[in-house]
Amino acid sequence: AGANALRVVLSGGDRWTKNDATDVANIISLCKANKLICMLEDHDTTGYGEQSGAVTLDTAANYWVSLASVLKGQEDYVQINIGNEPYGNTASVNAGWASDTSAAIKKIRAAGLHHNIVVDAPSWGQDWAGIMRDNAATVAAADPDANTLFSVHMYGVYNNASTITTYLDAFKSKNLPLVIGEFGNMHSDGDPDEDTIMSEAVKRGIGYYGWSWSGNGGGVEYLDMVTSFNPSQLTTWGTRIF
């Protein structure tokens, strides 16, 4: 389809079937064979503090450490996205985003993993309260490798051009790297401005990842780019992004 990178959902076994080292090694091999940079993410953290069963970033860091044997040597091909949307909208919990993220980065580095590390924003990845934006410099400074990439997920909060450009400008002004780690063309919390998201990313030379290839449930099936994992059955969203 012409993509150059792929974000892959994994589980450490806390909420879903565990993707063990053998499985992850195979995923990396498939990505390399298809000339795709592989952003691996632990989905178990999704909505911590608000969603039942979600785990901490520290637990996610332990998962990455457990995969060290298959991750080492793949630094040119793999990004480690510590945890997907690691906090919901609970303000008291989100207040720990910077310290928790910094500690997770340090644990991963201490295990000898020197990959690009990707960290998601709180508030279901959308950072509508600006917690990641305001604390990104502190987290960046916590990485001894100085190789942390910040990821915002743009859904209903980003429903107009000015909101999108203001957020992107904030990271540019801080000289900190940002990726749009997820977005869609519609969502239950509002209508994302996907045209501006894509055009601004291209104009600025930053990356974007649409969500997602296939398999969405729970009423957000419209986020599937293809129907039933069939690459020959592009949806409206799939046609738009590819």
Q: Which residues are catalytic?
A: 85, 182
CB–CB of 189/182 below 8 Å? no
What does the block give as tokens for 117?
């590390």
How many residues are there in the chain? Answer: 242
Bridging pattern class, strands 78-81 and 37-42 = parallel
Give the number of other CB atoms < 10 A from CB of residue 2: 4
Between CA 102 and CA 132 the distance in angstroms is 12
SS3 at position 153: strand
* Residue bearing tokens 């409206």: 236
